[in-house]
Structure formats: structure tokens, C-alpha cells
Amino acid sequence: MSDSIPKVSIVIPHWNNVEILSECLKSIDSTTYPDFEVIVVDNASTDNSVQYVKSNFPDVKLIENDRNDGYAGGCNIGADLAQGKYLVFLNNDTIQNPNWISSLLSTIKSNSQIAAVQPKILNYFDRKIFDYAGGSGGHMDVYCFPLARGRLFNHQENDEGQYDNKEKCFWSSGTCFMVRKKLFFEAGGFDNSFFAHMEEVDLCWKLQAMGYEVWVDPEAIVYHKNGLTLPMYSHKKYYLNHRNSLLMLFGNYSLENILLIGSVRLVFEIIAFFYSIIILDWKHATAIIRSLFWIISHPHIILKKRARFSRIKKINDKIIMGGMIRTSVVLKYYIQNKKTYFGILSK
């Protein structure tokens, strides 16, 4: 390994559905970058995933967990064994263009303040539209509702080159992003309590609190089969999205902002609950109640998270919030009918 061609470690958490993992690993074989390793963390799959990887991809480092540690836990385990200077966290249901690593690496190395960078993520099945789980750079409003350039809630835009510029963003998608390994560990890695969903947003928040930046590089392209591991409209996905968003809010903001912003966010939760009842969306309604109950019943986890965050925090809330969207994405989307990232930014 040299400074000009540093080793890159690709960490792939996996749980069942060996067919999608197979296509992902075959796609990685076409990568043009010369020095990388692939680490598959199997989260106690019950199909033949483990044997398949051993038989067909002997060069892959395979970690066999005896339980499902989710995306967050699986990635942390893989990162612990990674030998590369840079880590790439990659979903198992993706394929990549051949120069993806080279492009991401060029961007992250261009500025020592860049801690993480994501590619442009398009939908695998319709490659003219941005993928739900990434788009072309993640953003978030101050109430901790995430969006991306190219995707706002369930509305996915066509990719017409409108987001092809490299720029700072607030978070990089867990579908695929590169991060400096040293900074990943200094930030404490992914928070295992998230299990899955928004752990990458939380990590990027921590990296920015440490004084670093997150970018998107649309010249690198990844195609994603969204929702295969956890269906989009399942109770569990709704639950994790609501719970983890609230966990970030109460775990990362100052006490003053928890009172100011958290109270408004709780109003949004109540409105969302009653709206779900009205349209008979019981999965969503019960997920909201379940997430609120979890937050109320786990103050010890929130306090531990706050303590960890305060130890690494060098930048105050005001500066960090400067990289957030100050208006409510929910109101813009549902009341003003703003369906695109550009629309959210408009008055």
C-alpha cells in the first residue's frame, strides 16, 4: 500500500438473499481500482449465503456472526478487521460503475477536511430515476427529517443531470459511502442502538461536530435495489425511521435545542399518527406509537449517546445547523406541494 494508491476496504453487511449478494460481488470484480479488499459480514443468514461466498469468492474476507447485528453492528464488526486506510460501506443489493472507488477516493483525498463522500445512487430497476435510499447527496431539516438531492419522502426525481455537481451535503447514504477509517473510529463508528436506518446520518452529524465535511461525488455511480432486505412500507421500517430520527434529535442537540426543536418535532409525530389513523395505515400508526414509547422508556441510552457526542464535539449547534435546512421539509412537501430538493429551497 502506498500513499498514492492507498488500500480501500469494502465492508458489506449481509443477511439472507444470496442472489443479490452474488450480483454485488460480481460487479465489484469489475472495479478498476487496483488495491482493495472485500469484507462480507454475514448477520446469521439462514440460507446458503456463507457457503456460497466461501465456494465462489475465496478472496472475500467472510465474517460469520451468530446473530443479526443489523447494518450498524455488522459494519462496525467489518471495520474492526479492515486493513484499508479508507472504508467503503456498501449495501449488498447494489452494483457499481467500474471507476466508483477511484472517483470517490479522488474526491476525499482532494481536501483533508472531507471525512466522507458518497456516489450518485440511482435506482437499479429504473436507472433514469434517483434511488430512494441516497439520491445525489443527503440533507436534513432542523427537525431531523432527512431528504436527498433527487428524492423527497416517496417522490423520486428523474436524473437529468440537475445534481451532477460535487458539493457538501449533510449526510452520505449508507447504501454506499467512503469514509476515512481514522475519523470513523474517532467518531465512535456507527451507533449500534440504531440497528438499521439513519445510523449513517448520525455518523455524518458526529463527523461535522468534530469539524469535518461530508461530500457527494456524482461522477461515481451506484445502482441500488431498494427495499429488498427490509420492505419500504413495513412496520419495522416505519418504526426504525421514526425512532432513530428522534434518537438523533435527543442525542445530538444541545438541551436548549431539544426544548425548542424537539417540542415541534413531537407535534409532527402526533399529526402523523392521527393522519395514519384517518387513512387506516395501521402499520405506520403503530410504528409511531412504538417509537415514542421506545424513546420514553430508554433514557439511559439517550444519556449515554449524549455523553459520547459531547466528548467528540468541537463545533456548536449553530454552525452545524447552518448546514441543515432551516424550514420544515414536512410543511413544504405536504402543505406547499414542494416535491423536489430545489422546491424545498425555494420560497
Q: State whether 15 and 129 are in the same domain.
A: yes
Q: Is the residue at 201 inside a domain?
A: yes
Q: State whether 56 and 158 are in the same domain.
A: yes
Q: State whether 216 and 303 are in the same domain.
A: no
> What pLDDT does residue 3 have?
72
Asked which of 203, 224, 245 is the last residue of a domain, the reply is 224
Task: Tell me whether residue 72 is exposed, middle or buried, using C-beta atoms within 10 angstroms of its C-beta: 0 to 12, 13 to 18, 19 or more.
Answer: buried
Q: State whether 204 and 271 are in the same domain.
A: no
Count of CA atoms in the C-beta half-sphere (13 A) of 37: 19
Q: State whether 250 and 175 are in the same domain.
A: no
Asked which of 155, 190, 224 is the last residue of a domain, the reply is 224
> What pLDDT does residue 183 have?
98
Please state the domain count of the chain. Answer: 2
Q: What is the DSSP letter of 141?
A: B
Confidence of residue 347 (pLDDT cuts 50, 70, 90): confident
- Which grid coordinates are listed for 314? 468541537
Kindly tell me the number of DSSP H helices and DSSP E strands found in the chain: 13, 13
Q: Which DSSP helix (H) or strand (E) runs through 243? A: helix 235-252
Q: State whether 288 and 163 are in the same domain.
A: no
> What pLDDT does residue 2 have?
64
Measured CA distances, 151 to 175, 256, 338, 339, 343 (Å) = 14, 31, 12, 8, 11
pLDDT at residue 1 above 60?
Answer: no
Q: State whether 52 and 130 are in the same domain.
A: yes
pTM beyond 0.85, yes or no: yes
Q: Mean per-residue pLDDT for 6-34?
A: 96
> What pLDDT does residue 230 have?
59
Over residues 260-277, the pLDDT tens digits come to: 999 999 999 999 999 999
Nearest-CA neighbor of 340 among 153, 172, 161? Answer: 153
d(CA 44, CA 38): 18
Q: Is the residue at 327 inside a domain?
A: yes
Mean pLDDT across the chain: 95
Q: Is the residue at 229 inside a domain?
A: no
Question: According to the 3-state scheme, what is the secondary structure of 192-258?
Answer: HHHCCCCHHHHHHHHHHHCCCEEEEEEEEEEEECCCCCCCCCCHHHHHHHHHHHHHHHHHHCCHHHH
CB 57 within 8 A of CB 28: no
d(CA 293, CA 175): 28
Q: State whether 281 and 219 are in the same domain.
A: no
> What pLDDT does residue 4 have?
83
Q: State whether 218 and 300 are in the same domain.
A: no
> What pLDDT does residue 252 have?
98
Q: State whether 101 and 32 are in the same domain.
A: yes
> What pLDDT does residue 192 have?
92
Q: State whether 315 and 177 are in the same domain.
A: no
Q: State whether 201 and 129 are in the same domain.
A: yes
Domain of 194 in residue numbering reads as 8-224
> What CATH number did the domain enclosing 188 receive?
3.90.550.10
